[in-house]
Amino acid sequence: MTLTDAPAVRRIYSAASVRYLPRAPLTAENAASWVTDRIAESRATPRMLYCFGIEHTDDLVGVIKLRPARTSAALSYILRDDAWGHGYATAAAALVLDFASTTLDLASVDAKHHPDNHASGRVLIKSGFTCTGRSAEAITYIRNLAPRTRSAVHVRERLSDGATAARS
């Protein structure tokens, strides 16, 4: 991500999109700070967060994140409200799950959503996750990853200077 993505990030983290999250919508200043933090995290060693933009026709419509911890990771995603229902989160989840398996060599990925956010639950089920629990605060899931060859996936990251880097 680059600082030029801040307006799109603000649209993604709008009131409608954060309705089920414990956070407020982003202001312009918050969005710029959010992007700056993601850029810094992308340079950290070891890497504690992978944050990928979800693009449709060169328009940033969402964000998907993976937080690795030993042999597993936590997955989260958010789309701006006009991008809901088009399959973007499901497609992005498939790519990130491949990345988690092949590049990071993880054994499993966890995810959760608010009990009233049924659309997020559908994304997880379509992505091969299995429900592991329910509470008033969250429905939790796991997806066990099959070992794959590293050459099976290519992930492209946009660097802070606008260049791209391919990873196999």
Which residues touch 54 (CB under 8 Å, ≥6 apart)? 60, 61, 62, 63, 64, 77, 79, 83, 88, 89, 92
Q: Is the pLDDT of residue 146 over 90?
A: no
Per-residue model confidence (pLDDT) at position 143:
98
Per-residue model confidence (pLDDT) at position 73:
98
Per-residue model confidence (pLDDT) at position 1:
84
Q: Is the pLDDT of residue 151 over 80?
A: no
pLDDT band at 148 (very low <50, low <70, confident <90, very high): low
Q: Is the pLDDT of residue 72 over 50?
A: yes
**What average pLDDT does this structure show over 133-142?**
97
Contact 35, 5 (CB under 8 A): yes
Structure tokens given for 156: 């492209």
pLDDT band at 153 (very low <50, low <70, confident <90, very high): very low
pLDDT digits (tens, 9 = 90+) for 50-69: 999 999 999 999 999 999 99
Distances (CA, A) of 72 to 145, 154, 155: 9, 20, 19
Q: Is the pLDDT of residue 42 over 90?
A: yes
Distances (CA, A) of 15 to 10, 49, 59, 66, 105: 10, 24, 20, 23, 36
